[in-house]
Amino acid sequence: MENTSFYTNPKEAEKLERIASILKTVAHPIRLAIIHMLEQYPRLSVNEICEKLGTEQSLTSHHLQNMRLKGILSAKRDGRNMLYSLKERDVSLIIECLENCNCNM
């Protein structure tokens, strides 16, 4: 864990660490595309995501696993498939805010 001694409040430090973790986790074009897709289609399998994005399954699975482990996505088994959905729906609001920002555009 990084040095957080410059924070005055331990709860605030914890909150900022969580925000930074979320931003680091979604900071990839494929992960952002997956989040957008799961906004439109609340439950998708890896194969469905790969078809819609035109990505390879191994790469897509890697990104899905990363976001699931960080608590952004949830996965539920449906027969032979794992269906992914957004666990942290507020992440979409953060992304939307950044998309609407004219920062460096």
Q: What are the pLDDT digits (tens) for 54-97?
A: 999 999 999 999 999 999 999 999 999 999 999 977 787 777 77
Q: Are 88 and 69 in contact (CB under 8 A)?
A: no
- Residue 85 inside a domain? The answer is yes
DSSP string, 26-92: H-SHHHHHHHHHHHHSSSEEHHHHHHHHT--HHHHHHHHHHHHHTTSEEEEEETTEEEEEES-THHH
- Residue 20 inside a domain? The answer is yes
Query: Which carries the bigger pLDDT value, residue 10 or residue 57?
Result: 57
- pLDDT score recorded for residue 15: 86
Give the domain range for residue 64: 10-95
> Which CATH number fits the domain that encloses residue 17?
1.10.10.10
Count of structural domains within the chain: 1
- Residue 5 inside a domain? The answer is no
* Residue 100 pLDDT > 70: yes
- Residue 104 inside a domain? The answer is no
* Residue 1 pLDDT > 70: no
| Tally of residues, the chain | 105
* Residue 38 pLDDT > 70: yes
Q: Are 43 and 85 in contact (CB under 8 A)?
A: yes
- Residue 31 inside a domain? The answer is yes
- pLDDT score recorded for residue 88: 77
In the chain, the percentage of residues whose pLDDT exceeds 70 is 91
